[in-house]
Amino acid sequence: MMLLLFSSVLILSVLAGWGKVMENFFGSLTGGISGSISTGILGLSLIWTVLAFFIPINIYVEIPFILAGIFFFFKKKLHLEFHHFSKKDIFLIGGISLIILYSSSFYPYILDHFGYYVPTIKWLTEYGLVKGISNLDFTLGQMSVWHIFQAGFSGFSDPFLRINAILLITYTFYIFEKKIWVQLCFIPILLLFSQSPSPDLPVITLSLIILNEIMTGNKNISLLFAYAVFVFSIKPTMIWLPLLVFLCSVFIFKPNYKNWILGTGILILFFIKNIWTFGYPVFPVAIGDFGFTWKPNPEVLKISSQYALQKTYDMQYSYEEIQKFSFYDAVRNWFTLEGIKSKINLIFILSLAVFSVFAFIKKKKIISLVCISLLIKSILVLAFSAQYRFFLDVFFVIAFILFIHFSKKKSLAFFFASSVLVIGTLSFPNFIRQYIPSFRPGNFMAGLKKEQLYEPSTYHYNKFETFKTGNLKFNVSKDYPFNFDTSLPAISASYIFDDAKAGIFPQYIDEKNIKKGFIWKKLTPDEKKEVQNIIHIIKNTNK
């Protein structure tokens, strides 16, 4: 926790310094210290995304950006910005920040941390963006902009990958600067995402900031759209946000093509990044085929879409069973899943219904546009893969608009009471295991360790086996399904099984230069035997 405190002070200063410089070119969306930090996040994320095409985002990139950011911070005298807060607010911000840092010091427990976040960051820091990386390990084709941003600070300023804690502190600054107190109530829930560089936290916090700016009359459509597209680039299920800004521009503000230039540039960069790593403009959808040779095998894409459909039903039905569902069966079974997921699904639909009625009664154009945007996003999610994690942001948006006038006193009381509950759950996870056994992440919470008061808790494994098929020499984690601590290049065992099922296997484009990327090739009879032998070894090891 102490190391996180020092890390946070350093990174916040760097982001504010860079943000203040970038505001000379882009302007500021929100103003204040939170506005400078947010601009710094946007600017550095875009710069490092461009650099990642050519070089690794490692300590040699990190050091000059850190030094320059610190220089700009003191040159612009940004420490004086904190004088705008009252002494009482500084005390409260400090207390909330300590709660954030304490919560983020626990062991990571979100499974994507081990199978997606950390492996992605390892590739970015060692090689940058690698062409056709999805052919090696399909999940890596996402390469979220948020993980590129995290990679830029993972050398020495944030080696524990707790960038989400820094963003939560920035979010706290914004709440106090704008006095939008109801958003304090959201922080305790977001504490559950602070131990990992989960993209869910930045898209929720940034979307709430953008939404508040829209509702309070911010007319800077250019920056609003740019930030909205940036959020979309972090997680494309946030499609409702750029759609909302577009609708506001058309129906509320005067449209101007110049407003779309910056956001369109970010969108093009997002498409190019995805095409480079995945072969198509939007991961994991095989739409927009330009015929690139490094795109994934069609059979692998089919397996992925089948898996996504199974995830809709929490893996409680096979793909074949789901295919036989009538429309009535599909809806009924989604609402009657075993465990907590069915309750979340029901609350989601009820929330949309209540909000739709609220928007109709209020008859305010901005609320109606928010409602339309959320409904479009929800229909798309329900059509492709109705997993609760894809519509989690909808709950926050609806709660914000319904309770926007919540007082400071009530919000602080709710925040501290809820924080005690969340911290108690993180510290003593047996409680949630006992009373909500269907909440699977609770099974991976490790509880309180005294060492985390100094250094945030992290896992180390580093056990793997090495194999070779064709020109590809690769590593597979030993007796563990994820490659968070496996030397590169690493493949998850599950994708080896999928490749074998499809009769293909990844290969280097250039065996002497990993940076040139990966393609897939059909297995020869001898190679099929090699892969089956590898699978046999993996299965016996995992026993």
Strands 472-477 and 518-522, bridge-based pairing: unpaired
DSSP-assigned states of every residue in 59-76 = HHHHHHHHHHHHHHHHHT
Q: Which of 93-97, 251-255, 312-316, 512-516 has the highest mean pLDDT?
A: 93-97
pLDDT band at residue 314 using 50, 70 and 90 as cut-offs? confident
pLDDT of residue 398: 95
Residue 183 pLDDT more than 90?
Answer: yes
DSSP state letter for 160: T
Q: Select the highest-mean-pLDDT range: 33-47, 428-442, 511-525, 529-543.
A: 33-47
Encode 456-485: b = buried (16+ Cβ within 10 Å), e = exposed.
Answer: bbbeeeeebeebebbebebbbbbebebbbb
Give 320: exposed, middle or buried? Use CB within 10 Å, 0-12, 13-18, 19+. exposed
The mean per-residue pLDDT over the stretch 396-425 comes to: 93
SS3 at position 508: strand
SS3 132: coil
Over residues 424-470, the pLDDT tens digits come to 888 888 877 777 776 667 677 777 788 888 899 888 888 899 999 98
- Return the structure tokens found at 61: 């990139």
At residue 467, what are phi and psi to the nearest 5 degrees? Answer: -135, 170
For 48, phi then psi, to 5°, come to -70, -30
H-helix or E-strand spanning residue 102:
helix 87-104
How is residue 312 written in tokens? 């809709």
Q: Which of 116, 99, 119 is nearest to 1 (CA)?
A: 99
Residue 254 has pLDDT above 80, yes or no: no
- Tokens representing 292 are 């690139």
Give me the pLDDT at residue 10, please. 96
> How far is Cα 451 from Cα 46, in angstroms, rounded to an integer?
36
CB 477 within 8 A of CB 127: no
The kind and range of the H/E element at 188 are helix 187-190
* pLDDT tens, residue by residue, 117-134: 999 999 999 999 999 999
Lowest mean pLDDT among 284-288, 290-294, 428-432: 428-432
Cα atoms found within 13 Å of the Cα of residue 240, Cβ hemisphere only: 28
Enter the tokens of residue 531: 């892969």
Question: Which residues on adjacent β-strands are paired with residue 490?
Answer: 475
Please answer whether residues 480 and 498 qualify as being in contact, where contact means their C-beta atoms are separated by less than 8 angstroms. Answer: no
Stretch 485-512: mean pLDDT: 91
Per-residue pLDDT, 543: 58
Half-sphere CA count of 421, side-chain side, radius 13 A: 12
Which residue matches tokens 């789901």?
322
* pLDDT number for residue 221: 92
pTM summary value: 0.93
At residue 46, does pLDDT exceed 90? yes
* pLDDT mean over 76-103: 91
Please state, for a pLDDT cut of 70, what percent of the chain lies above it: 99
Using the predicted structure, report yes or no on whether residue 85 has a pLDDT greater than 80. Answer: yes
Give me the pLDDT at residue 438, please.
Answer: 65
Number of C-beta neighbours around residue 408 at 10 A: 16
Across the range 76-99, mean pLDDT stands at 90
Please give the mean pLDDT across all residues of the chain. 91
- Residue 172: predicted pLDDT: 97
**Better-scored residue on pLDDT, 203 or 427:** 203
Cβ neighbours, 10 Å, residue 398? 19
**Confidence check: pLDDT of 26 > 90:** no
* Domain ranges, ordered by start, for the chain: 1-231+394-457, 464-542
Question: What is the dihedral angle through the alpha carbons of 150, 155, 160, 162, rounded to the nearest 10 degrees?
Answer: -30
Please report which confidence band the pLDDT of residue 57 belongs to, taking 50, 70 and 90 as the band edges. Answer: very high
* Mean pLDDT to the nearest integer, 197-201: 95
**pLDDT of the residue at 519:** 94
pLDDT at 540 over 90: no
Distance CA 50, CA 44 (A): 10
**542, containing H or E segment:** helix 525-542
Please, are residues 168 and 100 in contact by the beta-carbon 8 Å criterion? yes
**Two tokens at 485?**
């601590």
Place of tokens 């709710």: 414
CA distance 496 to 533: 12
Q: Give the model's pLDDT for residue 197.
A: 95
What is the C-alpha separation between 246 and 259, in angstroms, rounded?
A: 10
Q: List pLDDT tens digits, range 348-399.
A: 999 999 999 999 998 899 999 999 999 999 998 888 777 777 888 999 999 9
Please check whether residue 264 is in contact with residue 279, taking contact to mean a CB–CB distance below 8 angstroms.
no
The partner residues of 507 in beta bridges, in order of sequence, read 519
- CA triplet 369, 167, 30: central angle to 5 degrees? 50
| 3 state SS of 337 | coil
